[in-house]
Structure 1
Amino acid sequence: MPKSAIVRTEPVQQRSAERLTVLLDAAAILLDDLGIDAITTSDVAKRAHSSVGVIYRYFPNIQALLRALATRNFDKYRAGLAATLNKRATSALDALNVAIDVYVELSRTEPGFRVLSFGKIIDRRFNVDRKSNNTALAEILTDLLITTYGVPASDALIFDIEVTVEIADSLLERAFLYDPRGEEPFIDKLREFIEQLLAPHTKEATTE
């Protein structure tokens, strides 16, 4: 079948999804090249071999586009976490270390992730449920520890995991501030902190 015929019969939703992917990919690369303060819709359009009009068809401004990229980053993180946990994590501490590993790997390999991450630099909340980005991640990790690794549910656990995520956010941001590979001493210190914080909760699980 001629290529033109294939394009004409392609579903509109698929074409839109592909355009969005191209725009987000272009924005991610430009974040690494230009930084978040310099990137513009014109830059994204040029990089994506598109037009500013196409961008405005999907996003009212550059901030909205970057929020969409941050949401995609979060989705990729969750997918990577789920896939890696199934292969490597046999305990609650393993699971939290995997959570660090996945974030570090994305920061090293995924275009734009080190700069934007989950979008706190634009907006501390996701567009959908308006929760703090870190609160949303803490809820995912808390549920994981309880349902998969048998850590007893408690208000203290919920609070400690949210504290962990806030500290991890700061330490990982610092780790990648000057080094695109991440400064290992900051990552190692985060692992030490998590082990100490989680110990009382896992001890309770083994004594029940």
Structure 2
Amino acid sequence: MTDPTSDILTQRAPRQERGRRRVDEILDAAEGLVAEVGPAAASIQEIARRAGASVGSIYHFFPTKDALFEGVRARFEEEVGGIAATMLATADEWARLDLATFVDRSLAPFIELTERRPAIFLLSVNAAGQRVPKDAAVDAAMREATLATFARRYPDVPAAELSLRVDVTRGLGDGLVALMLHADAGGRRRLLEELRRAIHGYLASYEEGAGR
């Protein structure tokens, strides 16, 4: 005797998989178009054309363009969460690196992400030009990972001082977002190099003559 429940589950799984693929195709199309023309000029009609989907299909998954852009941001945040997990898992190893390598290793995943997905900057502000809040859980995970790395690198530094250093280094990166928004690919690379120099100089001021 055939189990009807099994039949339903078997039918549902392919539909769910097709739905996930369709969402990914729509998000890919939206991200690519935003990188080319900016969020304001990215129309649902053109996103649908690039995704090979109907406009109705897009609205089925994303009721508004803002909801669609939020879906793209969520994928960025997911990648940042993965970077935080890697940092936390390798904190002991990173703590033993020389300062230049330590800074380079810390920034490398973000540089790779921003070069591969430049729309991350264009979607960091809303239509009114206001900064879109970060995902609180992902931001907390990144701060925890950075703090863990600093704690292993500077084991004799009090917790309050470590926390301050973490907030300053993170603040340096956050402060560049507005500049990144208006820069081309070459300009973004230059700004990221300046960020590396700024963080290196800041941490070197503590490590020089301190046995680190």
TM-score (norm 2): 0.69
- Paired AA for residue 72 in structure 1: R
Contact 1:175–1:184 (CA<8 Å) still a contact in 2? no
Tell me the alpha carbon deviations over residues 126-150 of structure 1, each in whole angstroms, 9 at most, x when there is no partner: 2xx4x6x766533332234336x46
Structure 1 residues 30 and 184: CA distance shift in structure 2, 3 A? closer
Query: In the alignment, is residue 50 of structure 1 matched against residue 59 of structure 2?
Result: no
Structure 1 residues 194 and 40: CA distance shift in structure 2, 3 A? same
Tell me the alpha carbon deviations over residues 97-131 of structure 1, each in whole angstroms, 9 at most, x when there is no partner: 22322222222233533533xx35562232xx4x6
Deviation at 1:62, TM superposition (A): 1.4
Task: Report what 1:68 is aligned to.
Answer: 71
Which one of 16, 19, 23 corresponds to residue 22 of structure 2? 19
Worse-superposed segment, 43-52 or 26-35: 43-52
Task: Report what 1:115 is aligned to.
Answer: 122
- Give the total of aligned pairs: 192
**Alpha-carbon distance between aligned partners in 2 of 1:71 and 1:204, rounded to the nearest angstrom:** 43
Contact 2:34–2:119 (CA<8 Å) still a contact in 1? yes
Query: In the alignment, is residue 91 of structure 1 matched against residue 94 of structure 2?
Result: no
Residue ranges of structure 1 left out of the alignment (5+ in a row): 1-6
Contact 2:150–2:162 (CA<8 Å) still a contact in 1? no
Report matched runs for 1:131-142 at 5 Å. Answer: 137-142=142-147
Task: Report what 1:103 is aligned to.
Answer: 110
Higher relative contact order (CA 8 A, sep 6+): 2
Structure 1 residues 191 and 51: CA distance shift in structure 2, 3 A? same
**Alpha-carbon distance between aligned partners in 1 of 2:37 and 2:198, rounded to the nearest angstrom:** 34
Name the larger-Rg structure: 2
Contact 2:173–2:195 (CA<8 Å) still a contact in 1? yes
Query: In the alignment, is residue 198 of structure 1 matched against residue 203 of structure 2?
Result: yes
Structure 1 residues 100 and 120: CA distance shift in structure 2, 3 A? farther
Contact 2:121–2:180 (CA<8 Å) still a contact in 1? no
Tell me the alpha carbon deviations over residues 173-194 of structure 1, each in whole angstroms, 9 at most, x when there is no partner: 5357333134555333322321
How much is the aligned-residue C-alpha RMSD, in angstroms? 3.6
**Alpha-carbon distance between aligned partners in 1 of 2:102 and 2:200, rounded to the nearest angstrom:** 11
Contact 1:137–1:165 (CA<8 Å) still a contact in 2? no
Deviation at 1:16, TM superposition (A): 2.1
Residue ranges of structure 2 left out of the alignment (5+ in a row): 1-9
Deviation at 1:195, TM superposition (A): 2.1
Tell me the alpha carbon deviations over residues 54-107 of structure 1, each in whole angstroms, 9 at most, x when there is no partner: 222222211122122112113224435739x96x95538434422322222222
Report matched runs for 1:169-208 at 5 Å. Answer: 169-171=174-176, 174=179, 177-182=182-187, 185-199=190-204
